Amino acid sequence: MRKLLQSLQGLQRDELGVSSMEYAVLAGIIVVAVVAAGSVLSNTTNGLPGLFTNLLTTVNAAAQGTTKSGS
């Protein structure tokens, strides 16, 4: 029993596991961001090219002082 408690106390002081956990959480956040970006891009018309076409149209309309609806 004493040896088990000493092992647990040694694990408590070991910080290698903490940094591994931080990297795992960071990797999880990156995966969620990539999936969210993929979801947004796949929901736009024609994917990424459609997104940039829409952006260019909006910017051109703003530069000319009009909106997309023509007002």
What does the DSSP 8-state code read for residue 66?
Answer: -
> What is the Cα gyration radius of the chain?
26
3-state secondary structure of 40: helix
d(C-alpha 68, C-alpha 65), whole Å: 10
pLDDT at 69 exceeding the cut of 60? no
Mention every residue, 6+ apart, whose C-beta is less than 8 A from residue 17.
11
The per-residue pLDDT for 16 is 61
What would the mean pLDDT of 50-64 be, rounded to a whole number? 87
pLDDT, tens only, 9-54: 776 666 666 678 888 899 999 999 998 888 777 776 677 777 788 8
The per-residue pLDDT for 1 is 77
Record the pTM.
Answer: 0.45
